[in-house]
Amino acid sequence: MADFTSSLYNMRLMDELACKDTFVHKLHPLIKILTTIAYLFVVVSYDRHEIIGLLPMLFYPVVVFFLAELPIKQVLARLLLIEPFIIAIGILNPFFDSQVIIVGGFAISRGWITFASILLKSLFTITAALILICTTGMDKLAAGLRMLKVPRLFVLQLLLTYRYISVLIEEVSRSIRAYKLRAPQQKGIHPSVWGTLVGQLLLRTIDRAERVYQAMFVRGFTGEYYTGADTWVTLRDVAYFGGWLSFFILARMVNIPLMIGLLISGVIS
Amino acid sequence: MHMADALISPVIGGTMWVATAGVAAYSIKKIQDDLEEKKVPLMGVMGAFVFASQMINFSIPGTGSSGHLGGGLILAAMLGPYAGFLAMASILLIQALFFGDGGLLAYGCNVFNLGFYTCFITYPLIYERFVKKGISAKRIMAGSMIAAIVGLQLGAFSVVLETFFSGKTELPFSTFVLMMQPIHLAIGIVEGLVTAAVLTFVWKARPELIEKQISGKISGNASIKRIIYGLAIAAVVIGGGLSWFASSNPDGLEWSMEKTAGTAELADSGGIYGILADIQSKTAFLPDYSFKNDGSVSEEQVSETSAEVAWPAVDAGTTVSGLLGGAMTLVLAVMIGFFIRYVKRRKKKVTA
Amino acid sequence: MSHHKLETKTINYVYPDGNKAVKDISFTIHHGESVGIVGANGAGKSTLLMLLMGVLFPSSGEVLVGDIHVTKKTLPLIRQRLGMVFQDPDDQLFMSTVYDDVAFGPRNYRYDEKEVESRVFQALEMVGILHLKDRPPFKLSGGEKRAAAIASVLSMQPDVLIMDEPTASLDPRSRRRVINLLNCFEHTKIITSHDLDMILDISRRVIVIKDGEIAADGESAEILADAELLDQCGLEVPISLQRCPKCGERFLTGRS
């Protein structure tokens, strides 16, 4: 349960990264959302045995990472925590598809190809989501969602959840810490306190929600969520999206690495 | 149990997104119609609470392991199905964006698996059925246990279906099911116990919080629930149907596979390659799961499809080129990255 | 200046669980007055504030703001006159940036963005945190949060400021800042607090609540020096009055 502090730290880090002032950060959130969706869509559409053709998709995260000056180590550390589940599912593939194929002179089970494909795809897709939030931030993302016509009620509720996560995490971790100081041998919390510990937190949460509601109420909240004016999408934003989209489609339709390889081997031979 | 983007296909992802969006839109409308906007801060703060609680280790004595809370049932019990569903959706979105826990294309799947079944199926049909006759610790326990277990089984099975129909892994259906269901049975038991403990405590401390959710929620919602179920079933049928269609046209697939594999000399004419690559990409957009791993397809088909899987890298002549090109691509990508950084650093030095 | 008067006429409030929190309370607060409301925990101070704001409605009696009776219908009008700052700033700062929190009120009243912006800037300047406008609340210190919470109410340009424990859990410097701030506001101020020294500093008039009823209503300098009265109400003389200003000797009872 050291999860608490590291999760909090993680979210704050992302928040801070989102405040940077690079080209990518200044792009319109709607564009970044659409680009991310296009990227994910294309990556996910690759066949399960495709690896070489999938590689060019690496360009997107690499370029954005460096353009947005994101710290590679910290952001990708996240990936290591998520991979276990994917690895668990992926690692079974070699056992279930023992079709042998020849790759570069070596005979391996095709299942390994599938496994590698899954790993690559997960690297790409998770990174894409992380760079979206690291270059946009929750606030601007919410504005982007509103422009996509996501109902305001949901957006407001999403923002509130986000806002209070740090408060709640601190509250919960305080409770757990107090518990652990009196039950040092235990790894987690004992069933005898499941109800009372979590229940108390729940009740305090409800009381807090009531107070937040009152605070909103006395400032005129009636259910509608009004925000400032939306910013316009510029030509530069459209060019960014158009450029990446063209690249994604090109990479999907043409096996770029293969062409490069043939070019090189053609040149050599 | 969060699904990653790497495991799904665009069709499945898209279908579940549509289903989830439909249910969410309906929930929002319901909340607005019932003038329950007061719930918004409650939804937000409860969402944050469940998010934080998911990190708590509930130790199971005697086993040395621990369980965690999903929270769908507690959200539904405290907020009602509609608000609970939306709160769950927020939690999952934040997890997907900030922690990479669950993909963005798979978001629709995740919200459905973790939110729909608990809030709209097990909560009203199981939990409420137990407590509507009168609340007691026993009833809460029984209702929570069964609702949690069933909810998680449904969710886990959904994961299996979604992964299977996406065709991005070789995992046979039966093996996957045998893996997922028992694990989630155990998770469901823990969830049920924790939920029961918490709800019982809340009921004893502030009974009105529990009671006001139950009254008037069951009757009158039957027809609405039917609409939701209809939506969900339609989504699954459409998604499944499309997948079926794709694989039941092996002729089309085989033909294009043959054609592409047959063109070993790809450097020839860009024109033909372009068209064929076109066909290849189109067919690859549809999931290509097949039953061949279940052994229910003829030998012939197996050897045929495996002989010329539609990418040139398998062919002897192009394998080396493929690997070479792949390596070059990686090198190029890294170089571009460093180049960008170099340019930026230089710019900073100039302006500094 | 009747439109700036705040009046309660024998208001009573009973909680759903039967607790009689407010019993027959009547008082009038005039424009520009600064009133402190003090009492032991559970005396009914917070309930009283909520009745003034229209968050709760009295079981009997009425609350009048200006000459308007506070009811569900008149709430929008009332809200523009009264601004309430809650005890825990975290409950009050629920948006992702300080700017959005301070803009929340004006936006709900559908002012156009230019007007909203000028109000926000003005409010932030008044409390001295304009430089923090784009910060998320969790990055603020206790004093900064408190200032932001006050600003979020000021942006609605109320006539009356109602504050619940404004100096609670603040470090001495932040506390001093808040006191100085409140001292330069021209608004009518109604402040509950356990910080009796602050009340002495800010409010000329003080109302002491005991068990839901008014135990005293008058000059703070007088009432807060009355050790016996305060003791009966579960309070104590402010620390600054506990020692003789000349010789530093502690008073035992009353004043010297």
Q: Model confidence over C83-112: pLDDT tens digits? A: 899 889 999 999 888 999 999 999 988 888
CA distances from C2 to B316, C64, C71, C159, C170 (A): 95, 11, 19, 12, 36
d(C-alpha B99, C-alpha B92), whole Å = 10
CB-CB under 8 Å, B267 with A104: no
What does the block give as tokens for B30?
A: 């319901």
pLDDT digits (tens, 9 = 90+) for B170-212: 778 888 888 888 888 988 999 999 999 999 999 888 888 877 7
DSSP-assigned letters across all residues of B118-129: IIIIIIIIIIHH
Determine whether the interchain pair B328/A99 forms a contact, defined as Cβ–Cβ distance below 8 Å: no
ipTM above 0.85, yes or no: yes
Residue C10 to residue A206: CA distance in whole angstroms: 32
CB C28 within 8 A of CB C10: no
| Contact list, A93 vs chain B (CB under 8 Å) | 169-171
Identity of the residue in B35, B45, B329 whose CB atom sits nearest the CB atom of A209: B45
Which member of A46, A86, A172 has the closest CB to residue B284?
A46
Q: Print burial letters for C153-181: b (CB count within 10 Å at least 16), e (below 16).
A: bbbbebbbbbbbbbbeebeeebbebbbeb
CA C74 to chain centre: 21
Chain-chain contact of A216 with C94 (C-beta, under 8 angstroms): yes
Give strand pairing partners of C205: C35, C219
Structure confidence by residue, pLDDT tens digits, B293-325: 333 333 333 334 443 333 333 443 346 677 777
Pairing assessment for the beta strands C160-164 and C188-192 based on DSSP bridges = parallel
End-to-end CA distance of chain A: 59
Measured CA to CA, the distance from residue C134 to residue A137 in angstroms comes to: 12
CA distance readout (Å), A268 to B323, C88, C198: 15, 73, 86
Q: Residues A224-249: what's their mean pLDDT? A: 87
What are the pLDDT digits (tens) for B7-66?
888 888 999 999 999 999 999 888 888 777 778 899 999 999 999 999 888 888 777 778
Which of A42-56, B248-262, B327-341, C48-62 shows the lowest mean pLDDT across its residues? Answer: B248-262
pLDDT bin (cut points 50, 70, 90) of residue B6 is confident
Threshold 0.95, pTM exceeds: no
Residue B270 has pLDDT above 90, yes or no: no
Using the Cα atoms of residue B24, residue B27, residue B31 and residue B33 in order, give the sign of their dihedral. positive
Residue B226 has what pLDDT? 60
Are A211 and C105 an interchain contact pair (Cβ–Cβ within 8 Å)?
Answer: no
pLDDT < 70 positions in chain C: 1-4, 251-256
Q: B237 falls in which pLDDT band (50, 70, 90)?
A: low
Say which of C82, C88, C138 has its CB closest to residue A166: C138
Q: Which two tokens stand for residue A243?
A: 């450029």
Instruction: Name the minimum distance, in Å, from the CA of C73 to any CA of chain A.
Output: 13
Q: What chains are in contact with B, requiring at least 3 Cβ pairs below 8 Å? A: A
CA proximity to C198, closest of C218, C217, C174, C215: C174
